């Protein structure tokens, strides 16, 4: 009976005492058996105080917001596949480029005839023979580059629309397809590295976490017309971010391999179209994952020369523009700065 009275007095003191006086009792309770459910909710808790097991069970059962195994300590993620973004001139635009340049050259010939007669018109006509195809090529290439820039900016805005994305790094190169003197199609190949506070999610690709850029490798393979070179370039992600060029041994071997195709095929023939560099990602545990083609055509030939690093572009993702017009519009068009909606 005396023991029961002591317990009742202790419980009354425990409930009615100020919070600073409960610290020794809480420490004693945390190491003992859990309190009954009727008594545990009545305990006031101080910050930093150990929680009894009967009260901690509901908190521990709540699911975490981010799975620890998916989060990246470095804050870097690599998309699980490369992207191919083709743009093409419509048949009406192709005819328009020929017609506009023909009108310009006709106006030049008419002006030369008005100034110098038939000799001047004949001289202007001879110049038109070689200037006309070059002008058509330059104009169509500029038109394609504008469409490619807008398409790339739209693609990056879609990626930056994820609220977890804080920045983007894009390795990209464009391959141009000609039909005669006219550039009618342009395809952009590349790889996206994402800076994010949490694992981002995208509809078309998953984000692979990078725990340590110095221990994550790229495996780049060069092939021309289906023939693959035996020597590979294996830069780390840290090397790619630092824009380091290939080692001299790899660069020399790749240059000799490309030179065997001949300069005509390398610049204008099949080798110019079918030179490609494929990339695979090798993690710290040695697990390898094929990502796809990172460069094709002239960008692949340029990268295989060994004189340039991976073409890496930094894209800022901000909530408010950091520059004034017209530089803000130029950054938005070129995809250098994206304002999150």
Distance CA 71, CA 196 (A): 10
β-pair partners for 79: 207
* Residues whose CB is less than 8 angstroms from the CB of residue 14 and which lie 6 or more positions away in sequence, other chains included: 22, 25, 43
**pLDDT at residue 294 in the model:** 85
Tell me the C-alpha distance between 263 and 166, whole Å: 43
Give CA–CA dist 305/9, Å, rounded: 87
pLDDT one-digit tens code per residue, 278-310: 888 888 777 888 888 888 877 888 888 887 888
Q: How confident is the model over 77-94, as pLDDT tens digits? A: 998 888 888 999 999 999
Whole-angstrom CA distances from 329 to 110, 320, 322 are 40, 13, 11
Q: Three-class SS of residue 339?
A: strand
Across 73-98, b (16+ Cβ under 10 Å) vs e yields eeebbbbbbbbebebebeeeebeebb
| Segment 228-274, tens digit of pLDDT | 888 899 999 999 888 888 899 998 998 888 888 776 665 666 666 67
Q: CA 191, CA 63: separation in Å to the nearest integer? A: 33
- pLDDT for 302-337, tens place per residue? 888 887 888 888 888 887 878 777 777 777 777 778
For position 274, what pLDDT does the model report? 72
What is the pLDDT at residue 17? 45
Nearest to 335 by CA among 76, 87, 148, 144: 148
pLDDT of 321 reads: 79
Domain positions in the chain are 2-60, 77-339
């Amino acid at each position: 009976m005396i023991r029961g009275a002591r317990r009742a007095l202790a419980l009354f003191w425990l409930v009615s005492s100020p919070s600073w006086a409960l610290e020794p009792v809480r420490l004693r309770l945390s190491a003992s058996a859990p309190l009954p459910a009727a008594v545990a909710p009545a305990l006031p808790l101080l910050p930093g105080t150990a929680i009894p097991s009967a009260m901690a069970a509901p908190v521990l059962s709540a699911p975490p917001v981010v799975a620890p195994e998916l989060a990246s300590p470095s804050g870097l993620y690599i998309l699980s596949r490369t992207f191919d973004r083709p743009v093409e001139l419509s048949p009406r635009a192709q005819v328009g480029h020929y017609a506009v340049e023909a009108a310009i050259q006709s106006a030049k010939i008419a002006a030369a005839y008005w100034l110098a007669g038939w000799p001047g018109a004949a001289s202007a006509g001879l110049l038109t023979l070689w200037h006309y195809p070059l002008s058509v090529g330059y104009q169509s290439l500029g038109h394609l580059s504008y469409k490619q820039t807008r398409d790339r900016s739209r693609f990056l805005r879609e990626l930056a629309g994820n609220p977890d994305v804080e920045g983007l790094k894009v390795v990209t190169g464009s391959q141009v397809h000609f039909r005669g003197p006219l550039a009618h199609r342009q395809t952009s190949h590349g790889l996206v590295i994402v800076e994010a506070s949490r694992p981002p999610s995208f509809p078309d690709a998953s984000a692979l976490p990078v725990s340590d850029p110095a221990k994550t490798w790229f495996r780049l393979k060069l092939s021309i017309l289906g023939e693959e070179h035996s020597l590979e370039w294996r830069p780390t992600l840290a090397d790619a971010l630092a824009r380091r060029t290939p080692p001299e041994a790899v660069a020399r071997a790749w240059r000799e391999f490309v030179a065997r195709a001949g300069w005509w095929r390398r610049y204008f023939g099949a080798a110019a179209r079918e030179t490609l560099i494929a990339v695979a990602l090798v993690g710290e545990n040695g697990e390898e994952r094929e990502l796809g083609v990172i460069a094709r055509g002239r960008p692949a030939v340029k990268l295989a020369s060994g004189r340039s690093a991976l073409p890496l572009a930094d894209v800022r993702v901000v909530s408010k523009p950091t520059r004034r017009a017209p530089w803000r519009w130029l950054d938005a068009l070129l995809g250098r700065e994206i304002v999150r909606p």
